[in-house]
Structures are given as structure tokens and as C-alpha cells.
């Protein structure tokens, strides 16, 4: 697994929520209520971020999967049963993270971008994401943002 340093100290503390995308599956619209327990794929090449996200998700009762490359993430998505993909958008370069998210969107899977550079998200991709969580070194804030992003929208 490739591990590299990030600029957490430069990240702003905010979460940007985009309008929810209505996602259809054979069982209907995917919502937190319909599953109770989500199956979440964490796609990131930074070991610390992966472990923290997975631990936080498991503490909230969700099942987690992990991929550290776009090809591994796509393979896991193709097996089915993934409700949400949380991906670093620089895995390790911007195009790789966008590739993961576009594959998830095309497969009808909810997407949460986890990035230190939200201003660099392609506008066409940004409007299709369920949420964008900006990276921060403050793990409590990140846990709160993650919980908020996974909370079902009032519109669903």
C-alpha cells in the first residue's frame, strides 16, 4: 500500500453538502433508513485516513471495505452491495480519485469525497456528489462531518 504525507494543517474546517442525488436500485431509492447498516467502501492511499474513517464507520455500526487504488475500488464496486463510496480525490493524483467517483456514480452508488483541496473538484463532478468532506487534522471534527454526510436528507 502506498502511503504519503498530506497537508492537513492547510485544510479549512468545513463540509460542503451538495443536493442529494436520487439513486435507484432494484429495491428502490437507497437511503440510510432502508439499510440501517451501510456497506461503505473507503478508497484512499493514505493509511492514517483509511484507518480513522473505517474505525469511525464501524463504531457507528457500518460495514467497511478498503481499496488503495482506483482499480481495486472499481473491482469491489462491481461485486455489488456497496452503498456508499468515500474516496480521497487525490489517490495519489486528482484524476484517479475522480475516476473512482465517476465509476461509483455510474453504478448508482452514493459518493462522499474526502479531500484537502475541495476547490479543485471538477464542477461537473461536484454537483453529482452526495457530500464533500474536507480533510482536517482534528479527528473529532472529521467524525462529526462524516456522521452529518451519512445522515439521510429530509428530501429523501
Q: What is the pLDDT along the chain (156 residues), one digit of tens a residue?
A: 333 333 333 333 333 333 333 333 333 233 444 446 899 999 998 888 899 899 989 988 899 999 988 899 999 999 888 999 999 988 877 688 889 999 999 999 999 999 888 888 889 999 999 999 988 888 888 888 888 888 754 444
Please, are residues 63 and 86 in contact by the beta-carbon 8 Å criterion? no
Look at residues 76, 120, 11, 29 and name the one whose alpha carbon lies nearest to residue 85. 76
Give the pLDDT confidence score for residue 4 in this predicted structure: 32
Please, are residues 101 and 92 in contact by the beta-carbon 8 Å criterion? no
- Over residues 64-102, the pLDDT tens digits come to 999 988 899 999 999 888 999 999 988 877 688 889 999
The order of strands in the sheet holding 84-88 is: 15-17, 131-134, 110-115, 84-88, 39-43, 63-67
Name the superfamily (CATH) of residues 37-150: Response regulator (3.40.50.2300)
Amino acid at each position: 500500500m502506498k502511503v504519503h504525507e498530506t497537508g492537513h494543517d492547510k485544510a479549512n474546517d468545513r463540509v460542503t453538502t451538495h443536493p442529494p442525488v436520487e439513486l435507484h436500485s432494484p429495491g428502490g431509492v437507497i437511503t440510510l433508513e432502508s439499510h440501517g447498516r451501510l456497506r461503505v467502501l473507503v478508497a484512499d492511499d493514505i493509511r492514517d485516513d483509511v484507518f480513522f474513517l473505517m474505525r469511525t464507520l464501524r463504531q457507528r455500526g457500518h460495514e467497511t471495505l478498503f481499496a488503495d487504488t482506483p482499480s481495486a475500488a472499481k473491482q469491489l464496486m462491481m461485486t455489488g452491495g456497496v452503498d456508499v463510496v468515500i474516496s480521497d480525490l487525490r489517490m495519489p493524483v486528482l484524476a484517479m480519485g475522480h475516476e473512482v467517483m465517476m465509476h461509483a456514480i455510474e453504478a448508482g452508488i452514493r459518493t462522499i469525497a474526502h479531500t484537502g483541496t475541495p476547490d479543485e473538484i471538477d464542477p461537473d463532478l461536484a454537483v453529482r456528489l452526495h457530500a464533500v468532506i474536507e480533510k482536517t487534522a482534528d479527528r473529532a471534527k472529521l467524525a462529526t462531518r462524516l456522521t452529518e454526510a451519512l445522515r439521510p436528507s429530509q428530501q429523501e
